[in-house]
Amino acid sequence: MSSTLKVAMIGPQGDALMGTGAVLVWNDVAAEGRRQFYDWHDKEHIPERLDIPGFRRGRRYISPNHSPEWFTMYEADDLDVVTSPQYLARLNAPTPATQQTLKYFRNTSRAICRVACSMGSSSGGHILTMRLQAAEECSDALIALAMETIFPRALRLTGVVACHLYAADQSASHTDTAESRTRTFDVPSWVLLAEITTVTASDEVRRALDGPELAGLCVRIRADAAVYALEICRLAKHRAG
């Protein structure tokens, strides 16, 4: 997918998200760096990100015994916030703790995204993440399929409270910064998320989303899709005007 999609990206949106821009990160952490990761991420990194104007909420999830083990989601007012000079300045001036901790990151995916469409009104304590690869010419059809078929089908299931489709901005995701140079990462072209209240709903929602319709659009779902449990959620002190 190119960095500039030639489609109207923002479809109908429910109330579960805070803004239409996001930074989505999946990662493992080397065993010797786990304690440092938690201390840094909980007490420095999430607060630092949420101090940037326009960032609204930071959430981190875990899926033990799965790789990648963690999924982190920063929500922002819009794509301009997560490509802003203020955000890039932070990425180009990583703290000593950031530099030390990122050395332990493994198997990382990172995407600067905008909401393509969203449906639902609540955040769940668990989240199913599915990273997708799809050709640019399928963009409109993928968004329509999500809103008209697979999201309504998933939301009819007990425990499913919201579904989101994000499109990665490839240019923004690959921007060269001091922080990005500390680790290697891949960038999925699309991300499908389902927020659920109980992990027992995970198999049903996976089947509801990963149906024959996606294959018909030549959409490839990565094999490392997984359900993650919420570890931390923090709101920004500043709020949108």
- Among 117-131, 171-185, 221-235, name the one with the lowest average pLDDT: 171-185
Residue 8: inside a domain = no
Residues spanned by the domain of 217? 21-235
**Is the pLDDT confidence value at 239 over 70?**
no
Is 11 a residue whose pLDDT tops 80? no
pLDDT of residue 14: 63
Let me know if residue 16 belongs to a domain. no
The answer, yes or no, to whether residue 6 has pLDDT greater than 50, is no
> Which residue type, as a one-letter code, is found at position 125?
G
Count helices and strands in the chain by DSSP H and E runs: 9, 9
Please indicate, yes or no, if residue 124 is contained in any of the structural domains.
yes
Residue at token pair 């198997």: 107
Token pair for 153:
């089908």
- Given a cut of 60, is residue 10 above it in pLDDT? no
pLDDT value, residue 212: 85
Question: Across the chain, what does the average pLDDT equal?
Answer: 90
The secondary structure of residue 69, as a DSSP letter, is: -
Looking at per-residue pLDDT, the higher value among 217 and 78 belongs to 78
Is residue 224 classed as helix, strand or coil in its secondary structure? coil
CB 198 within 8 A of CB 29: no
Rounded Cα distance, 84 and 29, in Å: 28
- In angstroms, rounded to a whole number, what is the distance separating the alpha carbons of residues 50 and 58? 7
Rounded to the nearest 10°, the torsion over CA 20, 185, 65, 45 is -60
How far apart are the C-alpha atoms of 155 and 140, rounded to whole Å? 21
Confidence of residue 231 (pLDDT cuts 50, 70, 90): very high
The pLDDT of residue 43 is above 70: yes
Is residue 2 scored above 80 in pLDDT?
A: no
Nearest CA to 206 out of 191, 194, 197, 189 is that of: 194
Q: Is residue 10 part of a domain?
A: no
Distance from the first to the final alpha carbon of the chain:
33
Indicate whether 14 belongs to any domain. no
Residue 41's identity, in one-letter code, is H
Paired with 1 in beta bridges are none
Mean pLDDT of 148-156: 94
Which residues, listed in sequence order, are joined to residue 22 by a DSSP beta bridge? 75, 113
Q: Which CATH number covers residue 112?
A: 3.30.70.100
For residue 238, what pLDDT is reported? 67
* DSSP state at residue 151: H
CA 75, CA 83: separation in Å to the nearest integer? 13
In this prediction, residue 211 carries a pLDDT of 79
**pLDDT at residue 89, rounded to an integer:** 95
Residues of the chain above pLDDT 70, percent = 93
Write out pLDDT tens, residues 160-194: 999 999 999 988 888 889 888 888 888 999 999 99
Q: Is residue 207 part of a domain?
A: yes
Average pLDDT (195-212) is: 88
Assign 136 to helix, strand or coil.
helix
Question: Is the residue at 3 inside a domain?
Answer: no
Q: Which of 130, 152, 144 is nearest to 63 (CA)?
A: 130
pLDDT digits (tens, 9 = 90+) for 67-110: 999 999 999 999 999 999 999 999 999 999 999 999 999 999 99
SS3 assignment, position 146 = helix
Q: Can you read off the two tokens belonging to residue 93?
A: 């001036």
**Number of domains the chain is built from:** 1
Residue 4, in any domain of the structure: no
Statement: residue 237 has pLDDT above 90: no
Beta-strand relationship, 220-221 and 226-235: unpaired
Q: Is residue 199's pLDDT more than 90?
A: no
* Coil vs helix vs strand at 177: coil
